[in-house]
Chain A
Amino acid sequence: MTRFTRLPALLTLGVLAVAVAGCGGDGDTGGAPPADATEGAAAVEIENPGVITGTVMFTGTAPDLESIDMDSEPVCAEKHEGTPVQESVVTGTGTLGNVFVSVREGLSQEFPAPSTPVEIDQSGCVYEPRILGVQAGQNITIRNNDAVLHNINATPEANRGFNISQPQEGMTSDRSFSASEIMVPVQCDVHGWMTAFIGVTDHPYFAVTGPDGSFEIENLPPGDYVLEAWHEVYGAQTVNVTVPPSGTAEATFTYDAAMSASAVVPVGDPVDLHDHHISPVAVTPAG
């Protein structure tokens, strides 16, 4: 539990309390120190960079999505045409969206966090986007577009969590995570259906698939990589990819509708959604 993370803090706090009081106002934003203004992935020189492109395929029949009862939040309900649904499984024709794809092994460089924040909105009492990638140390700008209270309760395992609120429309908050973690669940407790997942990596090589299942990861140093796909219902799987100098590598993941029931991921290790420490990554033949 995250409670354990408070123990070392307690030990030092006793000593540092006076200093803390003196410093004041520190720690207003959670997580790591803000990134330098000048860097970002582009700042790291990559020789003969390559690209991974690919698709997340989906077989079987997608489940009907759970409808959301927004009757008691008219401000949000009126932003939706028809009954809003829980977009936990987004599919195209034989493809799966909202899959977080990231490089898990094979990188040796350090990548400073970009200075530009990524954004996540709360609009119509749903998170937009639902699946979000961010680099460790990079700011996440959280915005409330609804005229109701939202709280943003992030419950990571490897990072310090936060639980903050935005009682009024237009409010924004900046937060960041200091360590890589796939994935950090985010929840609004006022509207229990509001869920998002943030993938935190220590490099810029990640992507989220659209409904067509496609993704592209650019500017990679040539080399061998373990690529992982993560889906909130169907779990995680990995493939091995070799990126040629100045070339393009293909990667394909395949999920099946039955996976939710079997809870076993055929490619790679079975993944427990509750275990956010998904490692070490098993290297399996690319599909």
Chain B
Amino acid sequence: MSTVALPEYVHHYHDPAHADDRSFVRKYIFSTDHKIIGIQFLFMSLTFLLIGGLLAMLIRWQLGWPGRPLPGGAVLGETRMPGGIMLPEFYNSLMTMHGTIMIFFAVMPLLVGVFANYLIPLQVGAPDMAFPRLNMASFWLAVVSGILMFAGFFVEAGHAAAGWTSYAPLSVVPEYSGVYNGQVLWTVSLIILGFSSLAGAVNYITTIINMRAPGMTLLRLPLPTWALFITSILILLAIPVLTGALILLLFDQVLGTGFFIPEMGGEPLLWQHMFWYFGHPEVYILILPSFGFVSEIIANGARKPVFGYTAMVLALAAIAFLGWIVWGHHMFQSGMNPMLGVGFMATTMVIAVPTAIKVFNWIGTLWQGNLHFHSPMLYSLAFVSMFVIGGFSGVFLASTPVDIPLHDTYFVVAHIHYVLFGGSLFGIFAALTYWFPKMFGRTMNERINKIHFALTFVFFNLTFFPMHELGVNGMLRRVYDYTQYALFQDLVDLNRFISLSAFALFASQLIYAANYIWSLGRGARASANPWRANSLEWTVPSPPPHGNFDSMPVVYRGPYEYSSPESEEDYLPQDAPPAEAPRPEPAPTFA
């Protein structure tokens, strides 16, 4: 037992003060409880993650066996796969929607919708979000948006097919794309999702600023909360620009305006600037929360404080700031003034600096630790290793001359997947596994998770590492049949290898999905603090009751006091009073 006494209320689930007499609908459907909303986001985004993965499998079929009929593929219909042969317009829809769904409906809600909702009030010591009803609206807007996006698959002439970046004029003029209402649905859906994200971001920021428990200074916040805080600020800066651009695009699509149509006085590059002004911060929106989760879990696994906590926070802020002024590096070959390219190259290169700070601090956190290789730790270590590769390939693309041969090739595809899958998604696996006991009061099967980790790590690299080679060979992305180019005809074998690896990678994810679902009902009961962690969410039962804390927690220290000499145990919760406890400052109340 710890010498530090845990507060007595930790063991009370049914506190009379929080008697829960809400109806089923108010409790689980139209709930304002941040934890329920987080779990709602969880199941929505995991469903989309599965759909996005299936789309990728179809893409890999076409790339591995170009023009070959897919057995059973004919069920998708004459306008998509007649006789099982994929049509180019369907391929374009597939890759457009793979990108759109994975970014907007899988990874972004998994990182922000799920964990910002679930973790922030628990980690700052608040009973709920600042604006619970706005929070509920945020989720249901996302549902409406998701339904509209999914409906696009079933409209005449197919779903949006102009890429997830939807460059105008291709995304505007149906005669050019062959896509009619699919493209409009895409636009409308993302406008709605923008409002959902904004509602969420406002909520997270307000909660973190105003609702911290007494003693929870900004520099005592756990790093996931810090990361989500900075991410929310980025969302506030970036999403309105996207929403504005989308509204202009919608006007062009349905009202006949010409903001992006040169014949009507418009400007195609305007769309690109507005899109990437959002789009690059978006990349960091998709990685910063994972930075936070991984920092938390590595410290927990190493049983050591996070190395350079303040530097980590400053690096997060620096990445966010820099990520906001580098959008032009997506446009080096767009016809933008080449001098601008030089400026954007410089800002882009500088991002390597705070990124290096984070990587070395993670290694510093491991140094002289006592590493417990639980499955969240394994995912986190893989995150560091894979993200570093994604970072290095980014340096190639950031260099303007080297970008000339690599731009719009599979090198970019490899890069984004090392960052988004190797990075964000490994971070998500780590977080899903780490906080599973807290969310559901049960434990995932650790052995199956380790099998999943090993398979995913191997097949991820077998799938995406060879794509660098494809890109260096010049193979273009977004190309339905690369064998039409004599130059790429000898890349079929490597593509087939990648496709087989991708199928295995997808199959490996089903193992995790099965374990996840099975553990929801059958996993071993979890204690309040199974990882022996320090932050406040582990001081309440698993799962936490409505209202989270029975009384306001008081925080005495930072979240990473592992192996502290103050404690005989190798952890020291944030709310454990010091041996000679000074009186906490007078506590503000949650009015």
Contacts and interface: CB of A to CB of B under 8 A. Distances in A.
B248 to A, nearest CB: 14
A153 interface: yes
Contacts of A10: 181, 184, 188, 254
A37 interface: no
Contacts of B178: 151, 153, 162-165
B67 interface: yes
Given A6-B184, A9-B181, A21 B173 contact: no
Contact of A27 (B155, B254, B481): B155
Interface in A1-38: 1-4, 6-7, 9-10, 13-14, 17-18, 20-21, 23-30
Interface string B80-97: 001001011100000000
Given A9-B180, A13-B181, A28-B77, A163 B188 contact: no
A167 interface: yes
Given A18-B147, A20-B151, A149-B88, A6 B82 contact: no
Given A2-B174, A21-B147, A161-B175, A28 B67 contact: no
B172 interface: yes
Given A3-B256, A28-B77, A163-B174, A23 B88 contact: no
Given A10-B184, A30-B157, A163 B177 contact: yes
B79 A28 contact: yes
B535 to A, nearest CB: 41
B344 interface: no
A213 B588 CA distance: 94
A173 B178 CA distance: 14
A167 B87 contact: yes
* Main SS class of interface, A: mixed
Contacts of B172: 3
B254 A167 contact: no
Nearest to A30: B156
Contacts of A7: 254-255
B151 A165 contact: no
B154 interface: yes
Contact of B151 (A2, A9, A17, A30): A17
A153 B89 CA distance: 12
Interface in B139-192: 147-148, 150-151, 154-157, 172-178, 180-181, 184-185, 188
A19 B85 CA distance: 28
Closest 10 CB pairs of A and B: A163-B178, A27-B156, A17-B151, A21-B151, A7-B254, A6-B254, A28-B79, A165-B88, A20-B151, A10-B254
Interface of A: 1-4, 6-7, 9-10, 13-14, 17-18, 20-21, 23-30, 149, 151, 153, 155, 160-165, 167-168, 171, 173
27 contacts: A2-B174, A3-B172, A4-B255, A4-B256, A7-B254, A10-B181, A13-B151, A13-B184, A17-B148, A20-B151, A20-B154, A23-B154, A25-B154, A26-B156, A27-B154, A27-B157, A29-B79, A30-B157, A149-B88, A153-B175, A153-B178, A155-B175, A163-B176, A165-B87, A165-B89, A171-B82, A171-B85
